[in-house]
Each structure stands twice: as C-alpha cells, then as structure tokens.
Amino acid sequence: MAGLNGEPFLGIDDNIEKLQYNNNSKEAIDKEGLVVGIGEDSSNNKNNNQGGEKDMAGNSIHRSGSRPQLDLSKAEIQGNSEERDPTILLPNQTDDISHLALDIGGSLIKLVYFSRHEDHSVDDKRKKTVKERFGISNGNRRNFPILGGRLHFVKFETSKLNECLDFISSKQLHRGGIDSHHWNSEAPANENAVIKATGGGAYKFADLFKERLGVSIDKEDEMDCLVAGANFLLKAIRHEAFTHMEGHKEFVQIDHNDLFPYLLVNIGSGVSIIKVDGDGKFQRVSGTNVGGGTYWGLGRLLTKCKSFDELLELSQRGNNRTIDMLVGDIYGGMDYSKIGLSASTIASSFGKAISDKKELQDYRPEDISLSLLRMISYNIGQISYLNALRFGLKRIFFGGFFIRGHAYTMDTISFAVHFWSKGEAQAMFLRHEGFLGAVGAFMSYQKHGLDDLMVHHLVERFPMGAPYTGGKIHGPPLGDLNEKISWMEKFVLKGTEITAPVPMAPPGTTGLGGFEVPSSRGATLRSDASALNVGVLHLVPTLEVFPLLADPKMYEPNTIDLSDHKELEYWFTVLSEHLPDLVDKAVASEGGTDDAKRRGDAFARAFSAHLARLMEEPAAYGKLGLANLLELREECLREFQFLDAYRSIKQRENEASLAVLPDLLLELDHMDEETRLLTLIEGVLAANIFDWGSRACVDLYHKGTIIEIYRMSRNKMQRPWRVDDFDLFKEQMLGSEGKKPRPHKRALLFVDNSGADIVLGMLPLARELLRRGTEVVLVANSLPALNDVTAMELPDIVAEAAKVCLSLQFHTNLLYLIPKMEVLVSQHCDILRRAAEAGGLLVDAMNNNTLDGSRGNSSSVPLMVVENGCGSPCIDLRQVSSELAAAAKHADLVILEGMGRALHTNFNARFKCEALKLAMVKNQRLAEKLIKGKIYDCVCRYEPAT
C-alpha cells in the first residue's frame, strides 16, 4: 500500500495529510477536530508543558496552566455547623466555570455541562438521629462545588454555532449556570472568565466566543481529552461499553480495576490508534490515513452525495456484489476451502470494475456507497487488530465521527476484528463515544471532584425534554414546564414531520456485517441511534454499594431477562395497559385541574414514545431490565411534575388500616410464639396483595373495601405456599429440639406498599422483632413510586401506629370483659412507642401519651427509618443511600418484601447475612417464569448467611 508520497505504508507511519493547520499548533487536525497527524516528535506538547509530565514514549503530556481559582471570601457553612466536615458555600466564587466544556469539531459541537441539584435543607430529626447512631458524616466526600448535580450531554451542528452560543448564554453556562447559588443576572461579567475546549474549533472560533460571551477559551490537547474522557466513562458508567455483531448489541461489564491496558481507535477523517495504560498514561502507537474522510471524500466524488448521512443512507440499500470481486468470482462460484475462504468473501474491493465495461454512471450509487463502507471498515478493523496483537491486547474500543452509532458500520468493524483474530479479540464501542473529547476537557478542570467518583455514584436518566426525533436530538432538557408541554404537544402531533419515535429497523435485520454479503439490512438508517441516546448523568456521591451483598461483582438485580423479544413485548403491553389508570391517578393527585389534565396527557404521550422507542431498539438507553423500565416510568412522571400520583390513595389506605390495627395486635398478643410467628408471616403475604402496580389487584379494589380484601387474602393463606421456607425461618427464630434461638442484632426490613402492607403486615412483624430485642430498621423509598411508602411518610405512620397501641388501654369495656388484659396491654402495646422514641421517630406530641407519663426508655431497642436512595418499585442494591449502607454494616437479617424488591429484583441475590424474601405474586407471567406457579401464589424464601 502506498503512502501519500509513494512510500510503502506500514500501518504505524504517522505521515498523514495535514487537513487543517494552525499557527498555535503543529498538530494536524481533521475536519471533526480529531488529531490525526501527531508524530513521535510531539513538539507542540513539549512547548506547552514546560517540564511537566511524560507519557510512556517519553513525550511531554500537555496540561493547561490556566486553572480557575477558588474565592474563599465570605465562605459559610451550609446546614448544621455541628456536623463533622459540613458543606461549605462559596458565595463570591465567580470563577466557577468548570460547569461547561466543549469539543468543537468540523461537523459537530459537543457540550458537557453541569447543573447543581436543588438544595432542599430540611430540619429532619429522623435524619439527624440516624446520622448520629450510624456515625454518618459528610466528610467521606470532598466538598467541591461540583459534587451533587447533573452532567448534561448536548450536541449542535458546527454550522449552527450561533444556536450553540445562544444556548450557552441562555443558561449562563459560561458564568456558572442559572442554578448557581452565587449567580446574579445583574452582576458584571468576569473579564477573566475561561472555559475549557478542545477540537479544531477551539482555535478557529476563539475570537467569536470572546466577542459573543466575553470568555476566553483554554485549549486542551485533543488526545489528552480523548483518553481522559474514555477512562472516566468506562470507570463511571456501568453499561458504557458494548459489542455489536449481526445487528445485536450486547453490553459488556468492565471491572474498572482491570480496565488497563486497552487500545483506543479513534476514527475521524483519519484514524489514530492509541494504547492506553492508565490515567494520563498513553501513547499513539499507530494510525492510518484511510478513515472517515476517505469514505466521505471518495463517496462524494463517486456518488455526488451532499452529506455524510446521505452517503450512509445509500449504503443501507446497496449490494456490493455488483462492484466487489468475491472469492467465488475467481473460483467459479466455489469456496477456496484449502485456506478457509468462502465464496462470498471479498477478494478485491471494487475489483469487478476492472473487467466490467461500465462507466461510473452505470453503477448504482447505493452499491458504490456500501462497497466503500465495507472496504474502509474492514481495513480499519484489520489494522486495529494487528496493533492489538502487537501489544498483546484483547480489548479494542472504537469511537469517532465515522461510527456515529451506525449499526452496519459497527457490524463491519466487529466482523473484521473477529475474522482476523479468529474470535480471540473483541471490538467494543462506547455509548458516549461522541462526547469523549468534551468529557475529557471537562475533566481537565482542577477541583471538579469527579476524579474519584465510582460507578455507584452515577445514575443515568432519560428525560423527554431531549427527544430523538427526525434522526436528530432536539435540544437539551427544557427547564420551563410550559415550554416542555407545548413542545410535547408538537412532538406527538399527527400529520407533521415530527414523529415519535423514529422508525427503526427490527433487531437482527442489520445484516451479518462481515466479509460475507449481508442477508438483509433495515430499510431505515440508524445513524446516531446509539451515540445520541445518552441521558443526563446524575452525580450522587452519597450512593454506595450495599455492603451485605455476598458478591457485588456477580450481582444482577433484574430477575426478568428482557433480551427475549417476547418477554419485552409482554411487559411493554402490561405497562401500556396500566397507563390510563396511572394517568387518572396522577391527574387526581393534582386536584383534576386543567393544567393537571394537560400534563397528564403529555406524560402519557411521552412515556408511550419511550416504550415505542425501546420496543424498536431495546438497548437504545443502555442495558434494559424491568427495573429500568419501571424507574423510567417514575422519572417520566416526575418530569411532568407529578411528584406523588398516589398521594391521596395512600392516605386513605393508611387511615383505614390504622383503624383495625388494634384488633390485629390484640389477636396476635393472645397467641403462643409459634402460632404468632406464622400469623405474622401470613399477614405480610396477605397484605402484600395491595399493589396499584398490578392490574389483577386494581380489579380487586372494585370488589370490596381494603379490610374485606385483606381478610379474604388472610383466609386463603393455606400452606404449603409455592415457595415455602417458613419452617427454616421458624427454626432460626424460635430454636428447635433443645437448640436455643440466637436473637438477631439488627434487622433491615425493606418495606413495600402503603396501607395494609406496611400497617397490618410489616409493622406487626417489626414489633415482634423488637419484642425479641432486635434493632429494626425500616428501609423505604427516597422518592414516591406507585403506592409505595416513602421514608418521609413512614415516621408519621409509625407515630400513628404507636398512638393506636396506646389507645388499647382505654378500651375500658374490653378490659372489663377480659381479665388481666390490662397487664398484657402494658407489657406489649408500648413496644412500638418506646422503640420509635429510641429511634428518633416520634415528635414531642407523643411524649404525653405514655402509659405511665414518663419519657421513653432509652434502653429500649430502637426502631429506625432510613431511605434506600431510589424512587422505583424495584431496587438495585449496587446503588443505595449512604445511611442504608451504614445501617447495614452491623445487620444480620435482611427482609425483602414485595414483588418489586423480592421478585422483579433480588430474587436471586445472595447476602452475607440471613435473608427472608416475602411476596405475593400478582402477575401470571412472572408466576410462570419465576416459580412455575400461578397468580396469588406466595413466596417465603429463607436463605442462611453466605
């Protein structure tokens, strides 16, 4: 293969055409802003480094000398000053421009910007008590201003630079953001404001940024940014990397402790191949001048296409057999089996054009585009594998403007790597690959607090404010609800060009993609389908891995496998059928106003668009599980300001259940130990029937009152249950054959629904554990989801339950009729009140309602409430709140209750301590798949400590 000057091209030569040259840099920058011509000299890096760090090849690594400085004047403590290492606010910090970074390429501008979470300072006595008891401090994280917020990813076409500048100005991103505590719209502009940027446009448009926004651009080295961005995303996002073969996307879990070394192949106009050995440790080991620019340049000359996307669109409908010479063309349609080549293997790209007596106009542009795409993709795949082989690397990540989430391009590269490595090496791609440079530029700020964030600190969510429509992302998440609603109405309006979602090719129809001729391909271009479907990355430093997981690396929360298309279709149907009822409840929760109806309609359309989008491409938003779907629904509700759709229903059910709690407790206290324990477990299972997320249970509500349904459910509690480990649990609790029971030190009770579920099911079970001297921690949702009880609501429910218990002593008629009942009441009905006081759950109003008029007994075992860190019917134990993680450290019993937490997720989870999983199955499909049973079957699964 000849180089540009006629010399042989060996695959590691850096003699690449300088596509763009700049007085401030000796680097060659391609049209997409990718460095493609950095030689071993790297003189630019040496000139800027001034004796700084060195890369593995001994070259200096560029690090900017311009850093934002912290202004500590008038700093003040936020919140409780008595806390150890409290958060500090910096009111005069005006050089807070680490909120924005850009990668300005020839075709696209990529923005990464940060917005703080809104500060909700709540004087929560429960939280203070929990922190004191578990020793939780704010000091376990560094208190940089950047921590605790959202990382946004936005793209603009470079040709629409003015729109990008307007967007930055409207959100004041160059001045810290409109949500900044210290930003003042009337404050004078900071003349020294600097924002980080990389890419060719950082040089080309520097004057325009200064003129329009009054900011200077601090130019960051492209390869530094590229590698830093890739390293961060691979370590911080659980399902960032994926393989793509034969139209099938499969996510790869990468241990961040075993990430290095790897090969990063960046395909812009040309190709840079980078060996990455660690953070800040990399070297460009090879490259090729045959890249995206080659495809676009030759394609433009041969097909007259006016855009890169148009050229890719043509390839979808092409047939390369008309142009490429295949092995079968040489050997009379036969394989060359001796050397392992099939008849359909390409022997020579464009080879048939030699012998065919045709002119250019005689060939279809579609066939030319496909042949060209395959030729360049195979070449890149082969060169990449040879470099991986050279350094003994099995892992190759591909990115850059050439790929753009185009399924067929990824298939082709994957097949080439698989073919040449005989299956030993893998081609992998990154969901955020288009943002690597921008993320790296963002990381170049000092004191941003991101460098030690781990995967459990980040949650990716997909608000409908940034939809995928018409093949493009239409703007960032919108802050103004009215703007969002009017946009949403336009988004779903029939008869316009805007549709939701974009029609996509069904899974598995994008063709084989390798050296063989594809059997079929989707008729619709899927360019950017993966790369642009990235959500807002929520940074929550208080999230931790649940410490009681037996093996966090092997833990998979989702029980249902949605990679099965029929399974996916079934659950999508369930969610769609439940949608009208959910909308009704959401609108009712807001008083049924016209505004609520408008928002409810928009929510229904938005969530339906999500479901349709995921039905076409299940992996569009990352690895999809049932838990992710349910969380997406709750996020979508919150997006349209329905903060608690079941608020009024939960209140009514709590009141009805509390009214009959005294009778239940009297009944339980009359029983012997063994009967009482069985009755308690039966009660939890029976009460779990109340689930507004289940269609079968919603139908029940029309057939009787909450108490009638509960009693009916209790009466049907006949053993053996479908999964019945009660006897094992009883033996552990009560002992057997002379073996004395060992009381548990601390139990974590993951509660589920409001109403009967918590009041008549889990609270009586908690009371029994407290009676036995076990500390009890009730674990509830941080945010509302369906009719699930939240950590904010639980203290009031416990307080009311304690009042109910105390009211038993005033049932004078009952005390007359039942001798010695007064003694029984005084012994047992004060358990909840004393435990709740010890756990900091009761307010001062309770202090006068004790039996003896005294304050709570400080020696009582405590009943506490902690939040789990999520707002979904399911729970992923890889991301729980810091207070739950602290509470778990000394727990020796975990009880998971409800379909979402014990069946949909965590049914197969294993723990270091004892675990009890309790649920009533309210979905026929789940019953068949999980326990081979039927609807309303019960699960009581006990597992000893691992």
Phi, psi of 213 (to 5 degrees): -115, -10
Best CA proximity match to 401, nearest among 502, 295, 301: 295
> What is the pLDDT at residue 662?
87
Q: Which residue has the tokens 């997909």?
A: 462
Best CA proximity match to 245, nearest among 523, 510, 566: 510
Best CA proximity match to 905, nearest among 937, 872, 945, 868: 872
H or E stretch covering 639 = helix 626-639
Q: Which residue has the tokens 């900091």?
A: 840
Using DSSP, state whether 43 is helix, strand or coil.
helix
> What are the angstrom distances between the C-alpha of 722 and each of 43, 561, 719, 915?
72, 22, 8, 18
Q: Which residue has the tokens 């910090």?
A: 93
> What is the pLDDT at residue 157?
79
> What is the pLDDT at residue 447?
59
H or E stretch covering 679 = helix 673-687
Using DSSP, state whether 518 is helix, strand or coil.
coil
Best CA proximity match to 622, nearest among 727, 534, 539: 534
- Beta-ladder partners of 286: 273
| Cβ–Cβ under 8 Å, residues 267 and 412 | no
Question: What token pair was written down for 128?
Answer: 């203070």
Best CA proximity match to 469, nearest among 447, 488, 444: 488
| Cβ–Cβ under 8 Å, residues 399 and 269 | no
Q: What is the DSSP letter of 91?
A: T
Biggest CA pair distance of the chain: 112
Instruction: Give the CA dihedral 487, 493, 497, 503, nearest 10 degrees.
Output: 100
CB atoms within 10 A of CB 1: 10
Q: How many residues comprise the chain?
A: 946
| Cβ–Cβ under 8 Å, residues 105 and 199 | yes
- Beta-ladder partners of 272: 266, 287
How far is 358 from 360, CA to CA, in rounded Å?
7
> What are the angstrom distances between the C-alpha of 46 and each of 36, 52, 275?
18, 9, 20
Best CA proximity match to 868, nearest among 858, 860, 853, 878: 878
The low-confidence residues of the chain, meaning pLDDT below 50, are 1-73, 77-98, 119-121, 139-145, 179-187, 465-480, 487-488, 490-532, 809-828, 844-858
How far is 249 from 243, CA to CA, in rounded Å?
6
| Pairing verdict, β 88-89 and 216-219 | unpaired
List CB contacts of 229: < 8 A, sequence separation 6 or more.
Answer: 432, 435, 436, 437, 438, 439, 440, 441, 443
> What are the angstrom distances between the C-alpha of 130 and each of 723, 777, 841, 864, 865?
35, 10, 10, 7, 8
> What are the angstrom distances between the C-alpha of 471 and each of 79, 497, 501, 782, 925?
46, 11, 10, 36, 35
CB atoms within 10 A of CB 869: 27
Q: Which residue has the tokens 């047939």?
A: 319
Using DSSP, state whether 309 is helix, strand or coil.
helix
> What is the pLDDT at residue 274?
97
Exposure string of 635-644, with b = 16+ CB inside 10 Å and e = fewer, is bbbbbbebeb
> What are the angstrom distances between the C-alpha of 772 and each of 733, 767, 768, 831?
9, 9, 7, 10
> What is the pLDDT at residue 472?
40
> What are the angstrom distances between the C-alpha of 709 and each of 278, 292, 374, 419, 900?
60, 65, 64, 62, 21
The predicted-structure confidence for 32-67, as pLDDT tens digits, reads as follows 333 232 222 233 333 333 334 443 334 433 333 333
CB atoms within 10 A of CB 54: 15
CB atoms within 10 A of CB 742: 10
79: left (phi over 0), alpha (psi -120 to 50) or beta: left
Question: What token pair was written down for 607?
Answer: 């969530």
> What are the angstrom distances between the C-alpha of 36 and each of 41, 84, 85?
14, 50, 47
| Cβ–Cβ under 8 Å, residues 943 and 723 | no
How far is 142 from 107, CA to CA, in rounded Å?
38
Residue type, 926: L
DSSP 707-745: HHHHHHHHHT--SSPSEE-HHHHHHHHH-BTTBPP---S
| Cβ–Cβ under 8 Å, residues 899 and 922 | yes
> What are the angstrom distances between the C-alpha of 398 and each of 93, 234, 558?
39, 13, 29
DSSP 358-372: --GGGS-HHHHHHHH
Q: Count of H helices and E strands in the chain?
A: 31, 29
Best CA proximity match to 373, nearest among 435, 428, 302, 433: 302
Question: What token pair was written down for 717?
Answer: 């509690």
State the alpha helices, DSSP H only, in 505-621: 565-589, 594-616
Per the confidence metrics, is the pTM higher than 0.85? no
Q: What is the DSSP letter of 325?
A: E
How far is 746 from 750, CA to CA, in rounded Å?
13
SS (H, E, C) 238-268: CCCEEEEECCEEEEECCCHHHCCCEEEEEEC
